Amino acid sequence: DTAVSQTPKYLVTQMGNDKSIKCEQNLGHDTMYWYKQDSKKFLKIMFSYNNKELIINETVPNRFSPKSPDKAHLNLHINSLELGDSAVYFCASSQDPLPYEQYFGPGTRLTVT
């Protein structure tokens, strides 16, 4: 069973388009995250949700809008895609909103052309 799953795994799109990435975890965790990993492999937190409530928004452009319909899902919608949005996006979950072991999804490689 996959603990944290993301779809799609690859996404190639043109500038200006709107796209969504879905994330689901079956671990029963209360906290979920979105991270962006750039070409230099630097992993930067974007959003944290605890029990469907946003708890961290790390100065991400408002073109990025997370949505958590329930504790097991955290989706990421991106409007008006830009070249600089090209990266790998990881979803993660953890048992605790305080610093704790995180389980990462396989990542979504987004390429904006």
Partner 1 sequence: EDKVVQSPLSLVVHEGDTVTLNCSYEVTNFRSLLWYKQEKKAPTFLFMLTSSGIEKKSGRLSSILDKKELSSILNITATQTGDSAIYLCNAGGTSYGKLTFGQGTILTVHP
Q: Binding residues for partner 1, per CB under 8 A?
A: 4, 31, 33, 35, 40-45, 48-50, 55-56, 90, 97-107
Asked if 67 and 48 count as a contact pair (C-beta separation under 8 A), the reply is no
Minimal distance, residue 37 CB to partner 1, in Å: 9
Give the Cβ contact number of residue 100 at 10 Å: 10
Minimal distance, residue 97 CB to partner 1, in Å: 4
Closer residue to partner 1 in complex, CB, 73/107: 107
Closer residue to partner 1 in complex, CB, 4/76: 4
Closer residue to partner 1 in complex, CB, 17/42: 42
Percent helix, strand, coil in the chain (nearest 5)? Answer: 5, 55, 40
Minimal distance, residue 47 CB to partner 1, in Å: 8
Q: Which residues contact 43 (CB under 8 A, 6 or more apart)?
A: 35, 36, 37, 90
